[in-house]
Amino acid sequence: MLRTILRNGLLASAAVVLAVSAYAIDIENLEYPRLNDLKTPDIEEVTLDNGIRLYIIEDESLPVLNVSVRINAGSYLEPADKVGLASITGQVMRTGGTEKWTGDEIDEALEQIGGTVETSIGQLSGNAFINILSDYTDLGLEVLAEVLRRPVFDEDKIDLAKVGARSGISRRNDNATGIASREFSQVIYGDESVYARNAEYATIDAITRDDLIAFHQQWVQPEGLQMAIWGNVKKRDIVRKIEEYFGDWERGGVTIPAPPEVNYEFERKAWVVDKTDVTQANIRIGHIGGLMTDEDYADRIVMNNVLGGGFASRMFNIIRSKEGLAYGTFASYTANLTHPGVFIAYTDTKSESAGKAVDKMMEVIETMKTEPPTDEEMQFAKDGYLNSFVFNFDSKSEILNRMMSFDHHGLPRDFLQQTKQKVEQVTPEDVVAAAKRNLTTDKMHLLVVGKTADFDMPVSEMGFGPATEIDITIPTAEEQRELVISPENLQRGQEIIERAAETHGGTDGFVAIESISRTGTLALQTPNGPFPVALKSWQVFPNKSRSEISAMGATFVDITNDGIGWKTDQATMQVVAKSEDDLANDRLSERRNLIAIFKSLAADELTAVYDGSGTFSGADVDFVALVDETEEAYVRLAVAQETGQVMGKTFISTDPSQGGAVREEYLEIRDVNGVKIASKTARYLNGDMVAEITLEEVTVNGPIGDEMFSQPQ
Amino acid sequence: MRRTPVSAALTLVASLCVAASSVAAFDMSKLTDQVYDTTLANGLKVIVMERRDAPVATFVTWANVGSVDDPKEYTGMAHMFEHMAFKGTETIGSSDIEAELKLIAYEDSIYMELRQERTKGRLADSARIAELEAAFNEARDAAYELVVPNEFGNIVDREGGVGLNAFTSADATAYFFSLPSNKAELWMAMESERFLTPVLREMYQERDVVAEERRMRTESNPIGRVVEEFLALAFKAHPYGIPIVGHMSDIMNYSRTGAMAFYEKYYAPSNLSVVAVGDVDHDDIFALASKYWDRIPYRPAPARMSTVEPEQLGERRMVIEDPSQPIYIAGWHVPEITHPDRPAIDAMLDYLGSGRTSLLYKNLVKEKKLAVDVGAFGGFPGDKYPGLAAVYAIPSQGQTNSECEEQILVEVERLRNELVSAEALEGIKARAKASFINNFNSNQGIALQLGGYQQLWGDWRELFGELDRINAVTAEDIQRVTNKYFTEKNRVVVMSETSQS
């Protein structure tokens, strides 16, 4: 036989084809030995008096200790105006140190031995874990107990976490896939839903250390913890040690509310995000999904496998293999334990085939309701699930984490086995029925992210009705604030501004200032570094001002005089009369001047509204919005809670040449005639530093001739 | 509330010292004793590690071929072939193999004519192209009629296989999935078949899929764009400078003939290793390997790619204008993994850029808050040939690449001038040990490591020599390699700066 020849190695390569046909493999008729029994690991369960539940597996194969803690707290518990609080709390519990050690000391100690202890809080639950060589079991447990029980939330590490959060926001539109998954969630759950909302600059700014302390205090409590332990430990030893580190932690006694329900109304709608720097369209189609406890959960598992999971699925076969339209494509009707998942069909395709891909995707989805799975499809869909079932039990971490989640949600321990039995019973008719019941194909959302100019058809013509363009521009903190003008906020605003005036030397001192002249340096921030220019200014209150900026032999002048004014045009270098827009902006600038503000306060002409607290220039501050006659805020002052000092101000500038969100931070304060004014200011426009202004000489009530404010020759 | 940091640090250090010695005593033989290997007559290496935890096993085919071996005009071919290896064989994936092979041959003959005409560029005859395209589309669709789509993957799915996947790197190509451990024979049968009688069906549909993969990973991804430019700038001669996925124009001109030639040259059994890790018996595995893989005749292994990157004459630097937020990456040319300087270089990179106590994280992230992420890694894009040690920074909002660069260079300079402390060196070695031990917690992780060491060192046993090599590194070694390699002249820098729209 050829097989023998092959074995004897006498075969010449020319004979390969012949040889193969004679010794073809026969995959359908392979006989497998019996699968070794699954040795379900022996799990010891202990509940401490304070409610902490332990799940322990002894495993001596590696000299390692692993601990995974499920914390019953999530971002769904944080207030809508402080989105990001749970995540930052979870992070700074560990990085911000504890009563015993700073975060940096914990970093040093753990990294010196290659150990890890980390904490985090996600949408529905938090997690803490240890991975450490088992010789350091005590160290690992003590650090874990410290960070869970006694975090001090060091300010500097809160700032670090906020820098990270803000940077994450600033980068969130860099990647089309990130945009698509974020916006799809918002389309399905609604943009204010706890299951879809995003942190914004304003919500990050609003978070204070007190918020972190309160969040931890309220929600991280021993009766909300489940702790899985596996590795090179002895059950009795480890229980004793955990008693030692956690046993005297008293119950919090707070009932933690369940995650909220979802109200969903089916509708057919198209959404588009135009992103010009990509060559692919990122397409998502779908609607709300279901729960794992739904009656037809097992039917949907089979439905998902036929439709969109894996190599055998209809989506993969049609979209990727047959049409070559995509590298990535799938579809799934997902289910959660707490709230409905989503139905999502997804494809990444070149811009030029976006419309075609949408068509094909809908065609494939529709087949689920009309074409019952063939025997072959059923076999693939079921066998795949059943034959791979053992992989649900091949890692201790998976077994224990799943058990904690099932216990928490009150699912039976054998939920997976029950589901497996149901999957075995699913028929093609069940799959079609599940598809008809669950896939509302005429009321789905379509979201496309990509370079619309290159699409083969406008998104509005893809069969989902007129497309709504989603504006993904990242709102500045300033734009996002909503001012509440209530009697309480008016009173509190007034108190804060009065205290600020005291701190700055009292209103009398400001009233005494009739004019002020200054010289200094304006350091413009350019891509090549700071570019310093000389600055001079004169101001006669309330409405006369002149500034001169000199650089490289040229002088730019800017004059305002009671409703008229002139300035050097940057293009022609000629002095021209100011436009209406310029003058309107000047009037606002006059009102935003700190000296003018305190003068108005003295004259009782100021309306100050408390506008929340946060951090500014590294200090905890109260914000005070000053509002005009139409109740519009024209400037917000940041007043340090501790000292009452004004740390800076923010406003939306309508300056025709440099409009946008402006933030001015007062870096240095100087005493002038008994009052404190800023002598060094950093100015930011839309988040980027544009200039730093440093004053040298300041003269109050000096002689300033009227000709300074008349039209220059 | 706050106690002095010194006393607290002391309590921590005190609790550390207790146990340090017993970890050092970790018995490596517990692991090595479970690994077995053999070599078949055709040169195929077979490696087995017995792990009896759960009745599952992971199987890997590790091919000593990567994108460095891509032929000219066929950049990305190693990766393209990896995709094609999922398309089946003469026995898997066809409803009528004889008829299909004829249709495929016909499809190829038209395609080669079409390719020839297209590559004439401006001198091409557009009418002829249109005619050939029509004929080609017809031939392609005819061949597709006989395809049983994705049969290879379907069988794996159906039999309970999980994690069916593969990757192509600059150095290597690996194929892997896990099965219930009683189905080792299924893997042996299918996997040997796929490298014995591969049929590259659906070649031209899959080419479009690969083009989409390139669009997704490189063209539509800011980091992908930066990395492609970075490697191109760093390597002018060595193919490490060529993207693994290939250039778009080459992808669009792939031919099946080219892919088969690539397969013939590089998929000789003597150029492959197979690895099984899990609840299996090594004698059974060796017997099954022999039964199925012996069918592939011996072919000599291809010669190692021999182009050497010339020494760099001065710093190379590039700025990309990109709509996304800034990204910084710098690299220095360093030798291949088997070079005696590499353990010291890797130790240096760990101290410089791994973890919250690394020099870069402490300076740029914790103290100055210039970056949200910073790191250092060696062997980029590969370890088989001299590559790069790289440092990257993701600037915080409002911070710049140049501020990050300034501080990165301060820290590199520090390592040129100062010896790392005994404590720091101890930390480097302890981290290496912990990470080495933790890498033994999953079948797939172990299998991929064994395959990788077998390729790069010619012997999987070198995996277990990793800690000895790191433990031999001295503070002087680290300073010496920093001065030798981390120079301005030897440096390559790419920054992406946000374009003003």
Q: Pick A82 or A328 by higher pLDDT.
A: A82
> Residue A674: its pLDDT value, please?
87
Q: Are residues B284 and B433 in the same domain?
A: no
Does residue A476 belong to any structural domain of this protein?
no
Q: Please state, for a pLDDT cut of 90, what percent of chain B lies above it.
A: 87
Q: Are residues B246 and B155 in the same domain?
A: yes
Chain A residues with CB under 8 Å of B11 CB are 100-101
Report yes or no: A63 at the B interface, CB cutoff 8 Å. Answer: yes
Q: Is pLDDT at A435 greater than 90 in this prediction? A: yes
Does residue B335 belong to any structural domain of this protein?
yes
Q: Are residues B241 and B331 in the same domain?
A: no
Chain B residues with CB under 8 Å of A114 CB are 430-435
d(CA B182, CA A445): 45
- Work out whether the CA dihedral B377, B378, B381, B384 comes out positive or negative: negative
Task: Please say which residue of B278, B293, B308 terminates a domain.
Answer: B293
Is the Cβ pair B206, A324 closer than 8 Å? yes
3-state secondary structure of A232: coil
What integer is the mean pLDDT of A557-586?
A: 86
Q: Are residues A25 and A51 in the same domain?
A: no
- Work out whether the CA dihedral B245, B250, B256, B260 comes out positive or negative: negative
Q: Are residues B191 and B251 in the same domain?
A: yes
Q: Is pLDDT at A376 greater than 80 in this prediction? A: yes
- Work out whether the CA dihedral B190, B195, B196, B198 comes out positive or negative: positive
What integer is the mean pLDDT of A372-399?
A: 90
Angle between helices B184-196 and B282-293 (to 10 degrees): 30
> Residue A484: its pLDDT value, please?
80
Q: Is pLDDT at B16 greater than 70 in this prediction? A: no
Is the Cβ pair B9, A108 closer than 8 Å? yes
Chain B residues with CB under 8 Å of A108 CB are 9, 12, 357
CATH number for position A584: 2.50.20.10
Question: Looking at chain A, which residue has its C-alpha nearest residue B399?
Answer: A688
- How sure is the predictor about A272, in pLDDT bands with cuts at 50, 70 and 90? very high
What Rg, from alpha-carbon coordinates, does chain B have?
A: 26
Does residue A384 belong to any structural domain of this protein?
yes
Does residue A263 belong to any structural domain of this protein?
no
> Residue B18: its pLDDT value, please?
39
Does residue A474 belong to any structural domain of this protein?
no
The Cα of A675 is separated from the nearest Cα of chain B by a number of Å equal to: 33
The Cα of B496 is separated from the nearest Cα of chain A by a number of Å equal to: 12
Q: Is pLDDT at B21 greater than 80 in this prediction? A: no
What integer is the mean pLDDT of A197-203?
A: 94
When scoring B10, B295, B368 by the number of chain A Cβ atoms within 10 A, the one with the most, hence best to mutate, is B295
Q: Please state, for a pLDDT cut of 90, what percent of chain A lies above it.
A: 66
Does residue A671 belong to any structural domain of this protein?
yes
Q: How many domains does chain A have?
A: 4
The Cα of B249 is separated from the nearest Cα of chain A by a number of Å equal to: 15
When scoring B56, B213, B403 by the number of chain A Cβ atoms within 10 A, the one with the most, hence best to mutate, is B56
Q: Are residues A499 and A428 in the same domain?
A: no
3-state secondary structure of B92: coil
Q: Are residues B223 and B343 in the same domain?
A: no
Among the partner-chain residues A164, A312, A688, the one whose CB lies closest to the CB of B150 is A312
- How sure is the predictor about B27, in pLDDT bands with cuts at 50, 70 and 90? confident
Task: Please say which residue of B293, B325, B346 terminates a domain.
Answer: B293
- How sure is the predictor about A243, in pLDDT bands with cuts at 50, 70 and 90? very high
Rama region for A144: left / alpha / beta (φ>0; ψ in -120 to 50; rest): alpha
Question: Looking at chain B, which residue has its C-alpha nearest residue A385?
Answer: B160
Residue appearing with tokens 């789905």:
A444
When scoring B157, B401, B497 by the number of chain A Cβ atoms within 10 A, the one with the most, hence best to mutate, is B157
Q: Are residues B179 and B42 in the same domain?
A: yes
Q: Are residues B258 and B334 in the same domain?
A: no
> Residue B23: its pLDDT value, please?
43
> Residue B253: its pLDDT value, please?
94
Does residue B127 belong to any structural domain of this protein?
no
> Residue B235: its pLDDT value, please?
98
How many other C-beta atoms lie within 10 A of the C-beta of residue A178? 14
pTM for the full predicted model: 0.80
Q: Please state, for a pLDDT cut of 70, what percent of chain A lies above it.
A: 96
The Cα of A264 is separated from the nearest Cα of chain B by a number of Å equal to: 32
- What letter does residue A456 receive in the DSSP assignment? S
Q: What angle do CA B211, B215, B219 make, to 5 degrees?
A: 140
CATH number for position B196: 3.30.830.10
Among the partner-chain residues A33, A138, A280, the one whose CB lies closest to the CB of B182 is A33
Among the partner-chain residues A61, A107, A387, the one whose CB lies closest to the CB of B160 is A387
Identity of residue B143? A
Does residue B245 belong to any structural domain of this protein?
yes
Q: What angle do CA A381, A391, A127 make, to 5 degrees?
A: 115
When scoring A3, A111, A205 by the number of chain B Cβ atoms within 10 A, the one with the most, hence best to mutate, is A111
Mean residue pLDDT across chain B = 92
Mean residue pLDDT across chain A = 90
Taking the alpha carbons at both ends of chain A, their separation in whole angstroms is: 110
Q: Are residues A273 and A241 in the same domain?
A: no
The Cα of A516 is separated from the nearest Cα of chain B by a number of Å equal to: 33
> Residue A21: its pLDDT value, please?
39
Q: Is pLDDT at A12 greater than 80 in this prediction? A: no
Is the Cβ pair B324, A380 closer than 8 Å? no
A 373-402 → B contacts, CB under 8 A:
379-380, 383-384, 386-391, 393-395
d(CA B173, CA A653): 57
Among the partner-chain residues A24, A63, A160, the one whose CB lies closest to the CB of B366 is A160
- How sure is the predictor about B20, in pLDDT bands with cuts at 50, 70 and 90? very low
Q: What are phi and psi of B331, to 5 degrees?
A: -140, 155
Q: Are residues A27 and A50 in the same domain?
A: no
CB B443 within 8 A of CB B57: yes
Q: Are residues A346 and A456 in the same domain?
A: yes
Q: Are residues A545 and A662 in the same domain?
A: yes
What integer is the mean pLDDT of A79-91?
A: 96
Does residue B3 belong to any structural domain of this protein?
no
Q: Do the strands B272-278 and B45-50 form a parallel or antiparallel pair, or are they unpaired? A: parallel
Q: Is pLDDT at A358 greater than 90 in this prediction? A: yes
**Residue pLDDT, tens place only, A59-68:** 988 999 999 9
Is the Cβ pair B434, A388 closer than 8 Å? no
DSSP B332-393: EEE--TTSTTHHHHHHHHHHHHSSTTSHHIIIIIIIS--EEEEEEEEEES-SSS-EEEEEEE
Does residue B240 belong to any structural domain of this protein?
yes
**Residue pLDDT, tens place only, B303-333:** 999 999 999 999 999 999 988 899 999 999 9
CB A633 within 8 A of CB A625: yes
Chain B residues with CB under 8 Å of A395 CB are 54, 442
The Cα of A142 is separated from the nearest Cα of chain B by a number of Å equal to: 10
Is the Cβ pair A279, B19 closer than 8 Å? no
Task: Please say which residue of B240, B261, B293 terminates a domain.
Answer: B293
What integer is the mean pLDDT of A260-286?
A: 94
Does residue B109 belong to any structural domain of this protein?
no
> Residue B499: its pLDDT value, please?
84
Taking the alpha carbons at both ends of chain B, their separation in whole angstroms is: 51
Chain B residues with CB under 8 Å of A100 CB are 3, 8, 11
Q: Are residues B81 and B224 in the same domain?
A: yes
Q: Which two tokens stand for residue A196?
A: 């879809």
What Rg, from alpha-carbon coordinates, does chain A have?
A: 33
Among the partner-chain residues A102, A133, A386, the one whose CB lies closest to the CB of B23 is A133
Among the partner-chain residues B16, B369, B442, the one whose CB lies closest to the CB of A112 is B16
Report yes or no: A660 at the B interface, CB cutoff 8 Å. Answer: no
Is the Cβ pair A311, B322 closer than 8 Å? no
d(CA A451, CA A350): 10
The Cα of B272 is separated from the nearest Cα of chain A by a number of Å equal to: 18
> Residue B1: its pLDDT value, please?
34
- Residues near A526 by Cβ (< 8 Å), separated by ≥ 6? none
Range with lowest mean pLDDT among A114-128, A523-537, A691-705: A523-537
Length of chain B, in residues = 501
> Residue A141: its pLDDT value, please?
98
> Residue A23: its pLDDT value, please?
63
Report yes or no: A5 at the B interface, CB cutoff 8 Å. Answer: no
d(CA A652, CA B139): 64
DSSP B168-184: E-SS-EEEEEEEEGGGH
Identity of residue A255? T
> Residue A631: its pLDDT value, please?
83
Q: What angle do CA B343, B348, B354 make, to 5 degrees?
A: 110
Is the Cβ pair A379, B437 closer than 8 Å? no
Question: Looking at chain B, which residue has its C-alpha nearest residue A139?
Answer: B15
Does residue A403 belong to any structural domain of this protein?
no
Q: Is pLDDT at A372 greater than 70 in this prediction? A: yes
Q: Are residues B189 and B234 in the same domain?
A: yes
Q: Are residues A443 and A551 in the same domain?
A: no
What integer is the mean pLDDT of B379-393?
A: 97
Q: Which of A128-132, A682-686, B222-226 has the highest mean pLDDT?
A: A128-132
> Residue B26: its pLDDT value, please?
64
Question: Looking at chain B, which residue has its C-alpha nearest residue A23?
Answer: B295
Does residue A604 belong to any structural domain of this protein?
yes
Is the Cβ pair A111, B205 closer than 8 Å? no
**Residue pLDDT, tens place only, A300-320:** 999 999 999 877 799 998 998
Among the partner-chain residues B23, B153, B197, the one whose CB lies closest to the CB of A135 is B23
> Residue B9: its pLDDT value, please?
42
Chain A residues with CB under 8 Å of B23 CB are 63, 113, 133, 135
Q: Are residues A292 and A393 in the same domain?
A: yes
Chain A residues with CB under 8 Å of B91 CB are 24-25, 27
d(CA B152, CA B191): 10
Report yes or no: A321 at the B interface, CB cutoff 8 Å. Answer: yes
Q: Is pLDDT at A6 greater than 80 in this prediction? A: no
Among the partner-chain residues B53, B213, B434, the one whose CB lies closest to the CB of A133 is B434
Q: How many domains does chain B have?
A: 2
Is the Cβ pair A321, B9 closer than 8 Å? no
The Cα of B238 is separated from the nearest Cα of chain A by a number of Å equal to: 29
**Residue pLDDT, tens place only, A605-655:** 899 999 888 788 888 899 999 998 888 889 999 999 999 999 999 988 877
Q: Are residues A48 and A26 in the same domain?
A: no
* Peptide bond between residue B269 and the one before it cis (omega within 30 degrees of 0): no
When scoring B136, B208, B399, B498 by the number of chain A Cβ atoms within 10 A, the one with the most, hence best to mutate, is B208
CATH number for position A177: 3.30.830.10
Q: Considering all CA atoms of chain A, what is the largest pairwise distance in Å, rounded to the nearest integer?
A: 116
The Cα of B186 is separated from the nearest Cα of chain A by a number of Å equal to: 7
Domain that holds residue A321: 269-397+409-469
Q: Are residues A216 and A274 in the same domain?
A: no
d(CA B465, CA B340): 13
Q: Are residues A447 and A572 in the same domain?
A: no
Q: Is pLDDT at B343 greater than 90 in this prediction? A: yes
Domain that holds residue B42: 35-94+147-293
Q: Are residues B322 and B467 in the same domain?
A: yes
DSSP A474-502: PPPHHHH------HHHHHHHHHHHHHHHH
Q: Are residues A27 and A48 in the same domain?
A: no
Q: Are residues B206 and B57 in the same domain?
A: yes
Rama region for B322: left / alpha / beta (φ>0; ψ in -120 to 50; rest): beta
d(CA B240, CA B350): 23
Is the Cβ pair B216, A328 closer than 8 Å? yes
The Cα of B199 is separated from the nearest Cα of chain A by a number of Å equal to: 12
> Residue B25: its pLDDT value, please?
53
Range with lowest mean pLDDT among A224-238, A476-490, A517-531: A476-490
Q: Are residues B257 and B388 in the same domain?
A: no
